[in-house]
Amino acid sequence: MITKMQALEHNKIRELVPLSFGKKTVGCRWVYDIKVEPSSDVDRLKSRLVTKGYTYIYGFDYNDTF
């Protein structure tokens, strides 16, 4: 997880900005996945950071969906 966060910062994928007045943050969480080979051996461990999309309010947090 730490290496993933360092990679996001190094590649300038995310940027920390101040929160605008009257706005709220949308939560996020880490999702972990274990990739297994056909022989039942662990191939690799994967992780990704995802937002909690169920907390969005249409027209307030976003205007369009894709």
Token code pair at residue 34: 């274990």
Give the pLDDT confidence score for residue 18 in this predicted structure: 86
Residue 33 is assigned to a structural domain of this protein: yes
The helix/strand/coil state of 5 is: helix
Residue 30 is assigned to a structural domain of this protein: yes
φ, ψ dihedrals at 32, nearest 5°: -110, 145
Distance CA 42, CA 36 (A): 5
Q: In this model, does residue 53 exceed pLDDT 60?
A: yes
Residue 57 is assigned to a structural domain of this protein: yes
Distance CA 6, CA 1 (A): 9
Residue 44: domain span: 1-10+26-66
Residue 65 is assigned to a structural domain of this protein: yes
Residue 61 burial (10 A CB sphere; 0-12, 13-18, 19+): middle
Residue 20 is assigned to a structural domain of this protein: no
Total-model pTM = 0.51
Residue 4 is assigned to a structural domain of this protein: yes
Q: Which residue has the tokens 């966060």?
A: 5
Number of structural domains, the chain? Answer: 1
- Which of 55 and 49 is assigned the larger pLDDT? 49
What confidence tens digit (pLDDT) does each residue in 21-51 have? 877 777 888 898 988 888 988 888 888 888 8
